[in-house]
Structure 1
């Protein structure tokens, strides 16, 4: 840790020449500061100030809000979002201290704050708690790629909690806030239009947004929407697995398969929102909002697997191989992923001159996540399986040389003909299968929230209540229903030949391989499947109900009733805020277990009541120095799929076995402390150092161990001694780190250099946990999922004469990408992203922009144990966008 700290300090010193802002604000109702009004010199603590002017103005307001905040917070304001090439809220949040992103196909999806698992961060949209149900409920982590950044007025990260914030946040709570129609008087139209391209494959990018608002002194209305679409290619190479070495010096083991993939992807985000606010007199406001966001992904898969471990003969190791008759399996699909959020909210805010405030919110939120991947697979056989040699001089890109396979006296052998291309029409169509992979999870949530406070001279007393009623129904991603479409198609009058969909168009790839491949027409293949499957179903050859087995399904109802009390004392230079939140949580967990091939309904109920105290102290030492200290307790509840009772139970073995969820899984709990020292520089600059520590109980990990409870008992059968393969609670873990942040505009420099500025941050992290002791054995020192021990962001900007230019770089070190357990896991290699943003204000109404992202053309690499054993290498290339922003 000392070495990392020293290295981080060195990076921070360098970054001080090119770094920037980490804005923040206190939790409260927004103030109404118009874009053309100056930022007030003084404001009540708790006001949100949104500045839509220049970078420096936005930075100044953000710094001030950080200074007056009750708790430790960071924020990205709307102007900061607009000056980065960020299409979704995950990308925008990654500019803030201690925030890293997880990408899918190169696109930002989840965030990880302070190196913690993404499930340890909770999310609200306009104060509405949102629960993630991504891809089968394997995690409660929220998908930020479903929320376009242009919908938001600000994004707040609460790194320390106060009692009015939901307790299900171990490291942070993120509040995504949309626009208020009373922010600006009169009629205003704001938007943008952009068009660009992806470097790999030259697929198009396009975006557009429009927000129209009107307001007078008492009434305001806003309507808006956004659209972003990209067409991209993704180069991908994977290794199925590596043989287990017989000893530490064994060099004869090698890869079991080479997986050659390219994806043709079309992704688009849409967002719609509307709001009405009425404030007849100052301090009395009623409002209503509606929000819809969606993420869509149409994905064509072109994939061939060289199944090295199934070769007829030959040798292979980590460095090279010489194999005879290696089966080649093709996998193709035209799949669909959808994630949608529907939010409706109404509320009222009431404030009196004697310091009393009341706020009420009623919300409905629905999240619907669906996936359908009709995967077609077929393999070569006999002499159609090519022979090959491979060279792994570069482990990331094995170079394969293909040869024909011949028969010598009935024994297959490598021929002498080198094949420059694999004949993709030689798959064994009779054995072609369809795996109709499906997933859907839907969450419906109703919430009511009431907050009351009374200011009494230097003391402010607060109390409130919260009720949430959620229903979650869905299934894990299911891949079990196999249909032999190659053999059955002709029997229903529609033959299916996988080889007929091969085109004459070669792959557009930047990865070396050693031979060439052509694209398959996945769209035509999907059309053929959509016609074929109803005929197979009518003939009794295919049952769509079997796509999702009952053991993968779950239906859960959870109810949370919470209340809190809080007091805040203003003791001149010291502000003390403390209180306690009590939450009563009830879960009804239903599903079906298959017990010795018999379906048996099971239901498990859980009820618990927890106290979550928190305290925050802010000490101002003079005009420029602020010190903070806070403590809190938080919780992270298990994912819906992880605790499902749906399972497959086999009582014929000794001991019996169970595969499925673990309804006995306990929540993860934490005690945590945070501290920071903040020095406010002249000219709206800031240097800050923050540190934190979290002690976490019941850390989730994967294992196979004895159930140890009665949750799977039925019909008088005791199954507490069965062996369950699932998620379990580990022993205590620790997560801790230091955050260094610097931001300033060099307004003290002579013109034209006074337009220079920078912002940046470095975070140094460490943390591990231990598993349970099982049969006398225990795994110690397992890294947390997603923990990079170093994260840093840096950007330099120049803003003057109508020009606004920014160069930004983000970097994170290696991290574990899978839930700990089973003795090993997949890790991800460090990477950095370089982005450039240019803006030129033509006049007060129009601004031209140009964005370039991922200019380093980064490769995203996963590996097993060491980089000598990569499991995935992926690249999407750079992307470019050009357009205009308008404001009337």
Structure 2
């Protein structure tokens, strides 16, 4: 009842305030003249380009935050270079209420305010971008594909203004690229670095170069960056645990031990170019092009001890003694690729009379592909080892292997203890190839225009945007299987999985109880690439079946948006409000398959929504700024989740469907934000901010009745079938408090006056309710990705050319996968300690040393409690040394 009352109050407040701001012109014309006025160069929203010390970058960020009409957090340019961050996700994680999701230890997605990553939208130079991930399961933007060195600043808009696209429930991130006209003359900036990973001693290297030249009217910039690292990733997993019969049941245990190590080579490349021409002050035309790519070549060495398939024995959560445990090996040399191609042209116009206008035309293509050619085989009979295990430390079960012998017709544990597993005993005849493929391509054309007129104390703004996007792809597909071990000899290309075992032992930091050697995945991949065309020619394998029709989707979405906005400056109070209208249309096509019969289907939808917003900034004194804002936002379903493609069984009662949910409605939210910001002497800041979001139609996974005719075909009504897919829940609430402090201790006596601190802590809470299905409703379900506490702290020292910073990031446990509500996978809290050192040899050259993840953090996922870990991963620390140059 309280949340409902607050929600209705918030909605009424936003609507009333929006109407009130529209009436502000009459009030503003009669208002007294302000005592002071911002200089043109201090106008909020101007690009901030900083190439100085930590304190200078911090000052630029604080300056933009203070002048912004809405609630923002800013990472200025040089702040990126003074952390050991290779991509924009890592750099953004230094800001308040920002957490990161890592893959193999590398930052990929960001989560702001504990919300699902789909609730944050992204712009590049003010033009909206959409994310394309592996399988289209989310619209979240992949930040690991955007090198941080290509950017001049990154702005997190935590409250929206009408010119910002509405598809941002908790925040919008604006990634700003370099402008060549910011600096006159010829300038060259870059860095070269080389280092190593502690685990496996793989190399890492980086390099960047940006060259710009400009005179009073013309500027050009070219830039590029490269980062590469070779790493080992230790990984231990448990596929599942037996379901206990009661809360005190200790007879259940793990169903398997999954022992993995990945040999990974990852690299990011970025290219950037821009031309700007400003023949007259205030009249500028420009063109920019950006290319970024993320590449990951992954070798998998994986062995699964399938405990639940043992011939005999006992097992529980703490220990086990088993006979004839099948060992399954899985290997691959796979490739992940993500590429972004962005081209934009535009013009900006402004006059001394306060009129400004700008136009942007943008094309963006994102291509995300994955290919993991998995080779899999298992042991059988006496080749399956017997074992005992000890889970005194649940993170690192210790397994003792024994030989397996025949006792009559039954298998029995032998007397020989094995120090290693014989990896050449896999059943080659049963070796299979699993074609694991995914590709999603998005093409987007965007036109955006804005115009504003500033009067005495009033600024009127309006604008529009049209975006036309096509999305074609498939979910991650693993349906096609070929029996390569048995069929290789048939086509004259024998394939023996056991022949690729090497004499090189794993370089691992995790205890196990026995040893393993590496498999030559590259040679195995080469043999597989030679074998598959021969199997195809013989009719034994059909690559066209790698991606089932039911996994494919083909969509086109068009968004036509317009807005009006009024900004009224009433002495110490700045009110900015208005309304945005978005007309959204989606054409959605795919294929359903039932009893082997494929039927093309399509679904379309069209909606028109209003998104009001208002922001109030009150300057109580020279040092104190108060903010209050309200807004409405939206989060639209991901491509894979909303796809028409599905597999249907018409013979079940009721019939069953597994696939997308074309009837999935967008998530809508009303929200309020407030903050108190106290600006300290010496470019310091202490602030507290609070927010609340009321969300309708929250996405979650479930199985329930279709309830529509979207899957119907002539003669078959499937509206009552049971669909396993993504659905809309009911009410959701997300709220939190953020505290931040930035301060250089210039008041201390030398040499301590070079010390400074930057830190923040966020407290979060939130949950949602599912639909009522057969009288049952799950209430208070946690949001995916929400840690209830996130904090960052950096202590730095900067003086006499030395710049040193120690940084620590920490987040508490969070839900990673909804699973079946109660059996979902959670992630354990972790912290990362980083150290950065810089020494300016002169005005041109700076030496640097970076050390990341010095705590050698272990990343843990678990089921229900930490006594049931499902994944334990470790990548070790990493070190980089090099030089930065600027002339």
Same structural fold, with TM-score higher than 0.5 when normalized by the shorter chain: yes
> 1:684 — aligned with what?
683
Q: How do 1:42-61 and structure 2 match up within 5 A?
A: 43-61=42-60
Deviations 1:235-291 (A, max 9, x none): 000001000011111111000000000000000000001000000011000000000
Greater shift in the superposed pair: 301-310 or 44-53:
44-53
Q: Give, in angstroms, the shift of residue 128 of structure 1.
A: 2.2
User: Is 1:674 matched up with 2:673?
Assistant: yes
> 1:510 — aligned with what?
509
Q: Is the 8 A contact 1:242 1:253 kept in 2?
A: yes
> 1:568 — aligned with what?
567
User: Is 1:879 matched up with 2:878?
Assistant: yes
In 1: Cα distance, 2:587 partner to 2:820 partner: 28
User: Is 1:339 matched up with 2:328?
Assistant: no
In 2: Cα distance, 1:587 partner to 1:754 partner: 58
In 2: Cα distance, 1:549 partner to 1:387 partner: 39
Q: Give, in angstroms, the shift of residue 92 of structure 1.
A: 0.2
In 2: Cα distance, 1:707 partner to 1:598 partner: 20
Distance 1:313 1:252, change over 3 A: same
In 2: Cα distance, 1:217 partner to 1:620 partner: 36
Unaligned runs of 5+ in 2: 1-37
Q: Give, in angstroms, the shift of residue 716 of structure 1.
A: 3.5
Q: Give, in angstroms, the shift of residue 44 of structure 1.
A: 2.6
Q: Give, in angstroms, the shift of residue 822 of structure 1.
A: 4.6
Q: How do 1:400-439 and structure 2 match up within 5 A?
A: 400-439=399-438
Q: Is the 8 A contact 1:363 1:446 kept in 2?
A: yes
SS where residue 321 of structure 1 aligns? strand
> 1:25 — aligned with what?
none
In 1: Cα distance, 2:391 partner to 2:682 partner: 55
Q: Is the 8 A contact 2:461 2:566 kept in 1?
A: yes
Q: Give, in angstroms, the shift of residue 698 of structure 1.
A: 0.3
Deviations 1:820-857 (A, max 9, x none): 65543110000000000000000010000000000000
In 2: Cα distance, 1:61 partner to 1:883 partner: 26
In 2: Cα distance, 1:821 partner to 1:662 partner: 18
In 1: Cα distance, 2:78 partner to 2:618 partner: 30
Q: How do 1:722-801 and structure 2 match up within 5 A?
A: 722-801=721-800
Q: Is the 8 A contact 1:671 1:695 kept in 2?
A: yes
In 1: Cα distance, 2:127 partner to 2:475 partner: 26
User: Is 1:661 matched up with 2:656?
Assistant: no
> 2:30 — aligned with what?
none
Q: Give, in angstroms, the shift of residue 68 of structure 1.
A: 1.0
In 1: Cα distance, 2:142 partner to 2:47 partner: 25
In 2: Cα distance, 1:624 partner to 1:666 partner: 45
> 1:281 — aligned with what?
280
> 2:63 — aligned with what?
64
In 1: Cα distance, 2:846 partner to 2:801 partner: 9
> 2:576 — aligned with what?
577
In 1: Cα distance, 2:190 partner to 2:855 partner: 29
> 2:851 — aligned with what?
852
Deviations 1:168-196 (A, max 9, x none): 00000001111001111001111000000
User: Is 1:619 matched up with 2:635?
Assistant: no
TM-score computed with the length of structure 1 as normaliser:
0.95
TM-align CA RMSD: 1.0
Q: Give, in angstroms, the shift of residue 46 of structure 1.
A: 3.4
Unaligned runs of 5+ in 1: 1-38
SS where residue 641 of structure 1 aligns? helix
In 1: Cα distance, 2:40 partner to 2:417 partner: 76
In 1: Cα distance, 2:775 partner to 2:40 partner: 64
In 1: Cα distance, 2:400 partner to 2:310 partner: 15
Q: Give, in angstroms, the shift of residue 49 of structure 1.
A: 2.8
Q: Give, in angstroms, the shift of residue 584 of structure 1.
A: 0.2
Q: Which stretches of structure 1, 4 residues or longer, exceed 3 Å deviation after superposition?
A: 39-42, 819-823
> 2:7 — aligned with what?
none
In 1: Cα distance, 2:724 partner to 2:160 partner: 35
SS where residue 481 of structure 1 aligns? strand
> 1:23 — aligned with what?
none
Q: Give, in angstroms, the shift of residue 40 of structure 1.
A: 8.3
In 1: Cα distance, 2:124 partner to 2:264 partner: 28
In 2: Cα distance, 1:209 partner to 1:477 partner: 34
In 1: Cα distance, 2:467 partner to 2:492 partner: 53
Give the number of aligned pairs: 850
SS where residue 782 of structure 1 aligns? coil
Q: Give, in angstroms, the shift of residue 41 of structure 1.
A: 11
Q: Give, in angstroms, the shift of residue 681 of structure 1.
A: 0.9
Q: Give, in angstroms, the shift of residue 50 of structure 1.
A: 2.1
Q: Is the 8 A contact 1:292 1:342 kept in 2?
A: yes
In 2: Cα distance, 1:544 partner to 1:333 partner: 18
Q: Give, in angstroms, the shift of residue 749 of structure 1.
A: 1.4
Q: How do 1:518-667 and structure 2 match up within 5 A?
A: 518-667=517-666
SS where residue 48 of structure 1 aligns? coil
Q: Is the 8 A contact 2:48 2:77 kept in 1?
A: no
Deviations 1:37-80 (A, max 9, x none): xx989723333332211111121122121111100001111100
